[in-house]
A and B are shown apart, each in its own frame.
Chain A
């Protein structure tokens, strides 16, 4: 139950939710909710809303009906039959595969046919390969025709020249440092213990169990910690410039 100071606003909310014109009171409505015989249209009574919206009759931005006489995608043959091409030359631009890539040609991401070897463009069909497809190929020699007859040795170009072989780059040989102590050079040129050795470091370590009343041990630990931190602080002080050292002298625990 909310405190009495909050009650009037709550009531105000309930009355505001009810339509003004409705004769029903809150008590009547709550009773109706509980009654199994209440007709559904009373429950679904909604406050009145706007019923007409004025739609736009013209586009507010952008071109509505224009844009039909642009430059066009410039599709079609870029190289004709028997024309000389070098690798990478685009031979045919298309949407979809009206033409397929034949010998010494490849099909690009947008189905562009381009040359992979220098040679002469050929437009042809290959019923042995596919009865319906049209192919674009590149013949390596001017007099060569495509397709290559079925079962014949492929005509290929080496396209390479012989040079003197460079000697193999030998792996960097670093001598083992004297203090290596079982460390070896890892593939990333780091000297460190092998993972199996690191894993066994904790093998011989014995941890003494905690003894509640051992104040002597606690004192020794505390003293050791103090000494460590004092040493650390002294390093810090040394590292700083002279100007600072001149200023306020720092307290250093002995």
Chain B
């Protein structure tokens, strides 16, 4: 379990594409016991974590994480000054915003509140990378729509889309600044930058292979027939 969390954190940090060798100030939304924060510390960044579970934050304190942790509900908004963070990561937390745990909770409103306050707390040109486990495509669409409404650009990066087990989704969001290219998911054809279009294949050749026989009167057909007759002793 721990190793998967670490892998996800490392991949999320990679997708953040932070400038090399510069310590950055990062927000970790849904930091839990601080595993993703430790990955950030390892890379020399300073972070603040927010989580709604006080028991998880106590575990983080026990583990003596370097970053500060705050007890907060992301659906109530991110209470930070504008332009604070150089990047935002979130591991397996975003899907919780789709639940209405209290009667006055309204998931679309909470998502919008979260994204809009997050947007303003980020430096222009910064990225937010959020790994999530959506329950279904409706949830995913709701989350993406609300993030775009809040002003983010970007989209979904899917690692290993053809594997049920290894498939991982990262919502990669950009705040203004220079236009940025969405990174490619691992294990997808797009991961090879040269191959952006399907390769041209001769249709005729493909049909031939399906039938297994060369077209009549073609050179291959004649050669094959000669060979067959020879084998029969004719």
Same complex origin of A and B: no
